[in-house]
Chains A and B, each alone.
Chain A
């Protein structure tokens, strides 16, 4: 069965600190997709990144970076030099590649990040 675990329920940092949000997933499929979404206090879900299971290259986008390691079934998200605007709940999600009956997004419980000035 598919499962996404975000062990960190809440993290609080001070502005300019680096912070890593952990995501561990479980799936039996060899083809799957991993996602990160951000939910700011306003409530909408904002797409951040999508990564397929065959691409283990790390990705950097500005202050955001993602570390995908199949060996540990992890897809961790790092924010460098955090800012108050980064305060939000961050969700990691998994989807199977074959689009079967369960081929939709399975979300973790989310990590609430608070960045204090």
Chain B
């Protein structure tokens, strides 16, 4: 158990809908990262927050947005869902702001299926 929690574990929805994925980092970690894992693209970094502020952006679509709240939990919002958004979404957390200098620990993931 990494200490990172994600809810829900599974999510099934229809095209055009909007969903919210939730992540709680390990105790003491200030950075939260979101990754998408799909069969064709592999594991891709989406976005990082550090202590409530957006820190870095990767291949995140404009239909997707995220935020980190004062209690450090984070939410990833996916809207106007398409079939291609079906994937496993991971949240990771680390202590500091620079991703390489400490280890990212991953949550169990949320499996999103868009029908």
Which residues of A lie under 8 Å from residue B106 when comparing CB positions? 37, 44-47
User: Is there contact, CB below 8 Å, between B100 and A99?
Assistant: yes
Interface 9-residue window, one of B15-23, B42-50, B76-84: B42-50
B101 touches A97 (CB 8 A): yes
Q: Decide yes or no whether B73 CB sits under 8 A from chain A.
A: no
Asked if A87 is an interface residue, CB under 8 A from chain B, the answer is: no
Q: Give how many A residues have a beta carbon under 8 Å from the other chain's beta carbons.
A: 29
CB within 8 A of A47: which of B35, B56, B105? B105
30 contacts between A and B (CB under 8 A): A32-B100, A33-B100, A35-B103, A44-B2, A44-B107, A44-B108, A44-B109, A45-B92, A45-B106, A46-B2, A47-B2, A47-B103, A47-B104, A47-B106, A96-B100, A97-B98, A97-B100, A99-B97, A99-B100, A100-B56, A101-B57, A102-B56, A103-B56, A103-B98, A104-B33, A104-B56, A105-B92, A107-B43, A107-B44, A108-B42
Which residues of A pack against B, CB within 8 Å?
A: 31-33, 35, 37, 43-47, 50, 52, 91, 95-110
